Structure 1
């Protein structure tokens, strides 16, 4: 166990353990998202330690069940990323349907539960320092800082980051010490936001490195707010096939200004951004459902000509859409 990784105040450390499954579920559904958990082995009563604190829009938790558990079926509609650091015991994290990785003290796993199925197992001695990070917030910060629009090459990549001696683990120690000694400062909006940005910057850098992605800006200048709002508009409305004029109108600029800003700050055009969001949307549907068809998934995102769609899909992902669907079913 890492005793310095404790964000609780002295008074909070005196709190007793929780033994009621319903109380634990109500708390965990709030600080993480709804998910399914079951004890492993004989029917056991939990002995759970539960703590949470807000850091800007993120939620930091220090948590254990006190019994071995298996956890899965996280609710994708919650739109949250989980960043899970093991402080004691061991945890096993599913990387693919057939492979997993075991983590011990000081190791961290990242999974975007809004984009991928995720499952983990934990032994009776497990203790976790976890972060719940809104997907939208992290995507907006990446765009704001670097002019980088992360796609599913990042969001669908589950991986280990940090580890003993890493900058990530050093940052987590700083965060927990700050929370335990200066909670009022963290609760103050500006301080909490600054701390959130430190965490997000390190998370994006480590996660992108694990996915083999270089998060570089085309301009090196912070993207203007209207560019970020336009990207969000495209993400939210991609299935409706908005025109560039509609996108520009939604953020109050001309088509020429929007197109120029996209090229300057993102290195793409608004149409490129829309095309990417549509292809990513089809890929998510093919990866997540065993009952859909290629035609149904493509049609849901506005594709009518299956030949044109299949060619664009192959260029983007290096495989046929039917291959993606077959892998999900397999």
Structure 2
């Protein structure tokens, strides 16, 4: 029998918060330094000496993913001898012709270019009026996400196709997700820049790209995933109930249960009727209700208890609580 100790959460390790930056640069060396810090060591040269550099970049870095809205304001040539991550160029205006792995790919607002780690890439002409989202995705993290979705190890690099359509299907969805982050860079209070939300949003971007671009594992990803057997669902439930304050993700629970994330989700849908994260929320709400019914005088408030169990938005907590228990949290706290 699993014995569950109900306890108030303790302080956990806090991941570094997402970073946002804005740059306005007119010096070539400074622009090269920017690229080296946030992307790769590059060769960067002006193609028209009569038109000075007017580099602009609005950038967000969420853990394994860096998204930069970049304009050079002058015609430049740019190239990297080695790219150590997966990379996507998604122009907002203009087009970029790049050479990578012996082939030339034209990226435009309708089609994104994809680069694989281990080799270089070059753009002979990035026009002054071109503006592009440059997305860098950590190799190890993206490959780990693929392994989690497949439920088995991934050997070697992901052999992405050179480009993908951003006007329809999964490619359009992914482009919209990236553009949402771009639009939120200047919003200091954006939910996407809150660490807990950013973690899940990043995971969505990683998984979304794996469904948007053709690669050697694409058929396996889209194949039907058999539901997790009840014992694997029970294993995930036991882990959540034993440590309800832990910041679980579906991917982490799937690894613990020994199945793919899709299989775990399907298993929960079939055998529990809730998604794993929805089940975890109900577990936490049950513990919050216990504390509301037996508060410590002079210390416990609805807000303090809700926050302690991971409910950061008091209004949403109260609405969900009332829907589940038929009374408000404050009514439970007052003993009514």
Matched, 1:142 2:146: yes
Deviation at 1:210, TM superposition (A): 5.2
Cα distance change of structure 1 residues 202 and 115 upon mapping to structure 2, 3 Å threshold = same
Deviation at 1:197, TM superposition (A): 1.0
On the 8 A contact 2:98/2:104 being kept in 1, the answer is yes
1:38-91, Cα deviation, whole Å (9 max, x unpaired):
223447521111121122321111112112222223434xx3221111111210
1:159 aligned partner: 162
Matched, 1:191 2:197: yes
1:217-241, Cα deviation, whole Å (9 max, x unpaired):
886669x9xxxxxxxxxxxxxxxxx
Matched, 1:204 2:194: no
Matched, 1:103 2:107: yes
Deviation at 1:214, TM superposition (A): 1.9
1:161-212, Cα deviation, whole Å (9 max, x unpaired):
23234222222233333444464533322111111011111111122x2557
DSSP-derived class of the 1:46 partner: coil
Deviation at 1:141, TM superposition (A): 1.2
CA–CA separation in structure 2 for the residues paired with 1:146 and 1:155: 13
From the CA coordinates, give the structure whose radius of gyration is larger: 2
Cα distance change of structure 1 residues 188 and 212 upon mapping to structure 2, 3 Å threshold = closer
Matched, 1:28 2:31: no
1:124 aligned partner: 128
Deviation at 1:150, TM superposition (A): 3.9
On the 8 A contact 2:100/2:115 being kept in 1, the answer is no
CA–CA separation in structure 1 for the residues paired with 2:154 and 2:176: 25
CA–CA separation in structure 1 for the residues paired with 2:121 and 2:153: 23
Cα distance change of structure 1 residues 88 and 44 upon mapping to structure 2, 3 Å threshold = same
DSSP-derived class of the 1:199 partner: helix
CA–CA separation in structure 2 for the residues paired with 1:29 and 1:183: 28
Matched, 1:115 2:118: yes
Gaps of 5+ in 2: 1-19, 233-257, 261-336
Cα distance change of structure 1 residues 43 and 177 upon mapping to structure 2, 3 Å threshold = closer
On the 8 A contact 1:162/1:168 being kept in 2, the answer is no
On the 8 A contact 2:82/2:119 being kept in 1, the answer is no
DSSP-derived class of the 1:119 partner: strand
Gaps of 5+ in 1: 1-8, 225-260, 266-330
Q: Of Structure 1 and Structure 2, which has the larger fraction of its residues in helix?
A: 1
Q: 1:170 aligns with which of 162, 176, 184?
A: 176
Moved more, 184-193 or 172-181: 172-181
Q: 2:65 aligns with which of 54, 58, 74?
A: 58
CA–CA separation in structure 2 for the residues paired with 1:172 and 1:131: 9
